[in-house]
């Protein structure tokens, strides 16, 4: 914000395999949103091959970008 970037949302990214429960404990979405006043659009799961573009498109399509 100090750089005057109009941030539309936050995407959480798992760099290691995690269960949904672990993700919710490590990064509570409501807490992040309340501290930043920015909507969390979703979480990208761990991808064993981040260069697999078809898988990346698939998981990216699950992000909540409604209201943009």
> Tens digit of pLDDT for each residue in 26-53?
989 999 999 999 999 999 999 999 899 9
What is the span of the domain harbouring residue 15?
1-47
Q: How confident is the model at residue 4 (pLDDT cuts 50, 70, 90)?
A: confident
25 in a structural domain? yes
- 15 domain residue, yes or no: yes
Residue 34 forms part of a structural domain: yes
What's the pLDDT at 2? 72
Instruction: Give me the number of domains the chain comprises.
Output: 1
The answer to whether residue 20 sits within a structural domain is: yes
Residue at 58 is within a domain: no
In a domain, 11, yes or no: yes
Question: Cα(4)–Cα(47) distance, rounded to whole angstroms?
Answer: 32
In a domain, 64, yes or no: no
Query: Does 2 reside within a domain?
Result: yes
Euclidean distance between CA atoms 52 and 29, whole angstroms? 27
């Amino acid at each position: 914000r100090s750089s005057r970037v109009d941030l539309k949302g936050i995407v959480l990214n798992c760099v290691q395999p995690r269960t949904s429960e672990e993700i919710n404990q490590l990064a509570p979405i409501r807490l992040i949103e309340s501290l930043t006043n920015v909507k969390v659009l979703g979480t990208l799961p761990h991808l064993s091959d981040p260069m697999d573009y078809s898988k990346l498109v698939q998981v990216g399509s699950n992000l909540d970008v409604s209201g943009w």
